[in-house]
Amino acid sequence: MNFAAWKIEDLTITTLRTLAIDAVQKANSGHPGTPMAMAPLAYLLYKKILKHNPANPDWFDRDRFVLSAGHASMLLYASLHLSGYDISLDDLKNFRQLGSKTPGHPENDLPGVETTTGPLGQGIANTVGMAIAEAHLAKIYNRDGYPIIDHHTYALCGDGDLMEGVSHEAASLAGHFGLGKLIWFYDDNSITIEGRTSLSFSDDVAERFEAYGWQVIKIGARPNDLDALAAAIEQAKAEIARPSLIIITSVIGYGSPNKKDTSEAHGAPLGEEEVKLTKQAYGWPDDQFFFIPEQVREHMADIKLNGQRAEQAWNRQFAAYQSAFPDLATQLQVAMVGDLPAGWDADIPAFTPADGAPATRSVGGKVLNAIAAHVPNLVGGSADLNPSTMTYLKSSGYFAKGVFENRNVPWGVREFGMAAAASGMALHGGIRPFVSTFFVFTDYARPAMRLAALMKLPVIYVMTHDSIGVGEDGPTHQPVEHLTALRVIPNMTVIRPMDANETVEAWRVAMQHTDGPIVIVLTRQGLPIVDRGQFAPASGLARGAYILSPEKKTPDVILIASGSEVQYVVEAQSSLAQDKIDARVVSMPSWELFRKQEKAYRESVLPAKVKARLSIEAGVTLGWREWIGDAGIAMGIDQFGVSGPYKKVFPHFGFSAENVVARVKSMF
């Protein structure tokens, strides 16, 4: 076919559209409509706007682009392929197939994919964290003549993203902070799976975002107008005090004679006949599949070369920066690769029984501040609960518009948005994020925590008020099923320390843990500090479970507990000894860390020959059979809590040393 009369831009855009159509059709699964509509924007971004290097997708000062509308993944994959990323034509042909590099929704371990998206709203929420990270690092490290950190964060979202509640949390935060380098494109196509968006959505999106403090730019029904798109992007980039929303009114399934502007183009292949008709409408050969004209290859080839040149220029600038500001450069390099600086744990406190019985949340705050003094890229905050979660960094103020150098991020009452943005901070790099709220509110944060686990992001979640120990706040605030709910998430590590020194060790583990998120679960109420001269050292926490207090000779029973309930089994051990029952006490702060230990160690702590086992934990008992076996007793709370002083609530549910003793005796 002769393409001589075609503009090269139109030829490339049509290539993107037809690659998406063909991949979805071959897979017999996927979403062709949005790629068909938004191909002009994708072309413009990857060819002319984004600062990126396909030869090194992880170049630190690259622009970030997030496809929050992750169902339109073929738009991203086709753009990456034509731009020279390590995604081949065969990868496009294997779209949505087992083991392929092109899964149904983008996953961040693929070259050029910044975050795992699909659950709507989370991608744009991630970009808020990315923009926070860029703003913070730029304020800390940039010097006159050395804009070492200087990039934009872009996202493409749709109607579904903006319906999700987290989009409101994220957009409100971004506008409040004045994240001027954050730019979202809103594909306003008025179509959802069920039909027209008018069924359920009548927001004035422009007024909504203006109320959030965003610059709103309306392109109107010109999604194919490259000049209009480029002008809007330049206007957005010129606004440095506000994030920008560019509204593009598009036609989903553009070019399809029978399915454009319908929900049929959203989430299903066009069908063989409609594919043929659509290609004819484009003026494209209808008997060829995954067809890429050579002119398009040549046109897009310079993207990789230009990216390499841009990164080389940045490397030269960074070399000069190293000479001018060696200390800052070294600090930034450590942060960029995710290492811990030397001496990061030099001032972490240790505790003795003479320090009383502090709540582990209080101890956690002291440890956090001691670490933060030596880890300058430790940045985070709470969902309006710093006075209660004790997670305020005393050496800094609040992150705010115009003071991006500060390290305490005031997330407000936005648990989901907070957790999703923390993932974005971790994805951006250079920042070690932590976030905090009451443990019960992991219900609100859990969708973002799940994706953080899927991506193995080193986010630290500090969750306090961990049990019925919340007391008077009652069952609405007393988490009972939450430990189990988080433990079942793959790649998530949950740690529930028993006292001050285990809390210290929990933070040591968290800071060195880089292949997934960590949840440190802390108490509201005070806990006695175990005398480590009498009992095993708290460093055993790093192995998930350890023998806190051994038996005298041969164990008749093994008592296992986590957190605040360890005190009951320690006390019970002495009482049982008076009745000639030799008990071993095991502190088990983390199931996940224990599972990772070699079999010999696990057997040494929980020997299979000892069938008499009892676990106690102020939460649901589901899961404890793994550790106590069918013959063991699991003491827990398989119902909601009650309101009352915690010293009365615990015994009300049977949490006491006396009840432990009674339950053990019933086994013999």
pLDDT tens per residue, range 257-313: 999 999 999 999 999 999 999 999 999 999 999 999 999 999 999 999 999 999 999
Q: What is the mean pLDDT of residues 481-490?
A: 98
Can you tell me the distance from the alpha carbon of 471 to that of 642, in angstroms, rounded to the nearest whole number? Answer: 8
Taking 80 as the threshold, does the pLDDT of residue 327 lie above it? yes
Q: What is the mean pLDDT of residues 558-575?
A: 98
Q: What is the mean pLDDT of residues 183-198?
A: 96
According to the model, what pLDDT value does residue 505 have? 98
According to the model, what pLDDT value does residue 617 have? 98
Q: Matching CATH topology for 8-305 and 353-521?
A: yes
Nearest to 63 by CA among 133, 136, 151: 151
**Cβ-based neighbours of 125, under 8 Å, separated by 6 or more:** 166, 167, 169, 170, 416, 417, 420, 421, 424, 448
Can you tell me the distance from the alpha carbon of 477 to that of 470, in angstroms, rounded to the nearest whole number? Answer: 7
Q: What is the DSSP string of 517-549?
A: -EEEE--SSB-PPP-TTTS--GGGGGGS-EEEE
- Mean pLDDT of the residues in the chain: 98
Can you tell me the distance from the alpha carbon of 586 to that of 588, in angstroms, rounded to the nearest whole number? Answer: 6
**Cβ-based neighbours of 279, under 8 Å, separated by 6 or more:** 18, 21, 285, 286
Place of tokens 């003479």: 354
Nearest to 188 by CA among 230, 97, 250: 250
Can you tell me the distance from the alpha carbon of 517 to that of 383, in angstroms, rounded to the nearest whole number? Answer: 18
**Cβ-based neighbours of 600, under 8 Å, separated by 6 or more:** none
pTM greater than the 0.85 cutoff: yes
CA diameter of the chain = 96
Give the strands of the sheet with 546-549, arranged side by side. Answer: 546-549, 583-587, 557-561, 613-616, 633-635
Please tell me the class of the 541-665 domain: alpha beta
Q: What is the mean pLDDT of residues 17-42?
A: 98
* CATH of segment(s) 8-305: 3.40.50.970
Q: Token pair of 373, please?
A: 């003094």
Taking 90 as the threshold, does the pLDDT of residue 2 lie above it? no
Can you tell me the distance from the alpha carbon of 167 to that of 121, in angstroms, rounded to the nearest whole number? Answer: 5
- Positive or negative: CA dihedral 5, 9, 15, 18: negative
Q: How distant, in Å, are the alpha carbons of 473, 522, 584, 652 from that of 644? A: 8, 20, 33, 10
Q: What is the mean pLDDT of residues 625-638?
A: 98
Q: How many C-alpha atoms does 19 have within 13 Å on its Cβ side?
A: 31
Angle at 444 between CA 438 and CA 447, to 5 degrees: 125
pLDDT tens profile 432-480: 999 999 999 999 999 999 999 999 999 999 999 999 999 999 999 999 9
Taking 90 as the threshold, does the pLDDT of residue 233 lie above it? yes
The domain spans of the chain are 8-305, 353-521, 541-665
Q: What is the mean pLDDT of residues 367-387?
A: 98
Can you tell me the distance from the alpha carbon of 519 to that of 526, in angstroms, rounded to the nearest whole number? Answer: 20
Q: What is the mean pLDDT of residues 157-180?
A: 98
The domain made up of 353-521 has a fold known as Rossmann fold (3.40.50)
Taking 80 as the threshold, does the pLDDT of residue 1 lie above it? no
Q: Is 270:32 a contact under the CB 8 Å cutoff?
A: yes
Beta strands in 362-516 (DSSP E): 378-382, 432-438, 460-464, 493-495
Burial label for 132, CB within 10 Å (0-12, 13-18, 19+), is buried
Query: Which helix H or strand E contains 377, and what residues bound it?
Result: none
Residues annotated as catalytic are 415
Taking 90 as the threshold, does the pLDDT of residue 201 lie above it? yes
Q: What is the mean pLDDT of residues 592-619?
A: 98
Q: How distant, in Å, are the alpha carbons of 3, 470, 534, 547, 556 from that of 585? A: 78, 26, 13, 6, 11
Decide: helix, strand or coil at residue 551. coil
Taking 90 as the threshold, does the pLDDT of residue 156 lie above it? yes
CA 639 to chain centre: 30
